[in-house]
Amino acid sequence: MNLGLGHLRLAPSVFWSMTPRELNTAARGSMGLPASLSPPARRDLQKLMQCYPDSEKK
């Protein structure tokens, strides 16, 4: 709420009708960041999945 109503100065009706994706894009734009980042490379994702599996190894 602080971000949307305070920093971005959105009207309450606009803030509450935004989707999380819209709020994220507005926040990133206000900070001069790109609207989205590129996804991780397959190799990097595989390393993360090995380090942090969804279930415990047995």
Domain count, the chain: 1
Write out the residue range of the structural domain in which residue 11 sits: 2-51
For residue 9, being part of any structural domain is answered with yes
For residue 18, being part of any structural domain is answered with yes
For residue 30, being part of any structural domain is answered with yes
For residue 45, being part of any structural domain is answered with yes
Mean pLDDT per 10-residue segment, the chain (58 residues):
92 95 88 75 92 78
For residue 58, being part of any structural domain is answered with no
Angle at 32 between CA 45 and CA 29, to 5 degrees: 85
pTM, full prediction: 0.54
For residue 56, being part of any structural domain is answered with no
For residue 31, being part of any structural domain is answered with yes
